[in-house]
Amino acid sequence: MKKPWGGRFKEGTAKTLEEFSQSISFDHKLWREDIDGSIAHAKMLHKQGIINAFELEQILRGLKEIAKEIEQGKFQFKEELEDVHMNIERALIEKIGSAGAKLHTARSRNDQVATDLRLYLRKKVSKLIEQLTEIEKTFISIAEKHIDTIMPGYTHLQKAQPVLLAHHLLAYAWMFERDRERLKEALKRINQCPLGACAIAGSSLPIDREFTARELEFEGVIPNSIDAVSDRDFVLDVLYCGAMVMMHLSRFAEELILWATDEFKFIELPDRFSTGSSMMPQKKNPDPAELIRGKTGRVYGNLLSLFTTMKGLPLTYNRDMQEDKEPVFDTVETVSMSLKIVNEMLPEIKFIKDKMKEASEKGFTTATDLAEYLVKKGVPFRNAHEITGKIVLYCIEEGKNLTDLSMEEFKKFSSKIDRDVYEILTSEGSIEAKISYGSSSKKSVKEQIKLLKKRLRE
């Protein structure tokens, strides 16, 4: 089949090269954006007197017919035409003749693919921002329901201090809030128009780049034509943001996996979001959480893949850059599906409050509160830390908890300890004692929820 660029060549392309270099197997996903970009470009060509009204009418009609055929599954993408751009252009020429051959005036596949990809990512990133907004609302809603639920907080996977489950869940809400902010910033950089940059240096024809940008609802044009066709920072932005979202989801998934074990038994996963074993009848496996944890690695790989592709490319466009699409397609689809399944599953998870409360009372989780109690009594913190450590060691040797100690036993370690110490030795007392913003108190939780809701409205 004759190539649109074949005039300079005596021989046709080797079949092996056609198979190796084609991108239509994946970039067909850009067909809608390619047609939208072509419509805007055609209108600009007519406005500038480069094509006449009849030619514009034919081009618009032909493109709309092609779009309908693709939507109905009747359009045949051909591998020998390499990519989505040449497939649509060839189909247009076959439909309307010479007017279709004028569409590519003052345009290169270099600025065309950059435009298509920006249009695609603008839509996909906007959807991810919506999904992050929804999952943040879900975490906030569940936190509001568990403002009195106490659990052990952990460092190094060792029990540290008692915290409110709401406080723990809101930590993830803040992660997703940062993800939303990052994607909003990425969206600003995505929403710039490269059309008119052509292959590298623009066109000698009297084009109107600002008109095309307005037609496609871009915020502006990319000033430097070399940068316009060689830039893939905006793709890397999305890959990075996607990797961050998956990292946050994976951390939460890991906690769900741990909490669902008999060793923790903090939660009961819904049957609808669990699977069984083909051999062991008793099993109830947290497959969605495990899959998210696993898919995170692939999303990380997508980021590293494109970084590696771009690191040594001289300006401007190089065919290596064809490798930008599969990683970003995979990332946006994986992140979107992962957010969707977590957002659906989370409200159906049953938190086992008694088990969480019981665990928060073990492991001397209120030892820090005891040290701070001594500080409030005038004891220097390092001394208070040492005294409390000796009390914990005594409890371990005697097989007791802090709440089991008598006042006489406490006095052996410090005369500063009085009966009011018992008020902070339970998990409830510990949390109640934390009244400043930023700690695990009910007051803190309510303030965080208020602030997060405000941000979501902005």
Active site residues: 156, 277
DSSP 334-352: HHHHHHHHHHHHGGGPEE-
Q: Classify burial at 136, counting beta carbons within 10 Å of its beta carbon; exposed 0-12, middle 13-18, buried 19 or more.
A: buried
Euclidean distance between the first and the last CA atom of the chain, given in angstroms as a whole number? 54
Distance CA 333, CA 218 (A): 23
DSSP 8-state code for residue 190:
H
| Residue with tokens 């830039």, as numbered in its chain | 231
How far CA 239 is from CA of 29, 290, 297, in Å, comes to 18, 21, 12
Query: Phi first, then psi: what are they for 246, rounded to 5°?
Result: -65, -35
Identify any residues that bridge with 285 across adjacent strands, giving them in sequence order: 275
Length of the chain counted residue by residue: 458
Instruction: Give the Cα-Cα-Cα angle 142, 147, 150 (nearest 5 degrees).
Output: 105
Alpha carbons 203 and 221: distance in angstroms, whole number: 15
CA dihedral 19, 23, 24, 27 (to 10 degrees): 160
* CA angle (432, 436, 437) in 5-degree steps: 115
Q: CA Rg, the chain, in Å?
A: 31
Q: In a 10 Å sphere around its CB, with 0-12 CB exposed, 13-18 middle and 19+ buried, how is residue 213 labelled?
A: buried
Q: Which of 306, 330, 161 is nearest to 242 (CA)?
A: 330
Tokens 């602030």 label which residue?
451
In terms of C-beta density within 10 A (0-12 exposed, 13-18 middle, 19 or more buried), how is residue 76 classed? exposed
| Half-sphere exposure in the Cβ direction for 388 (13 Å, CA) | 21
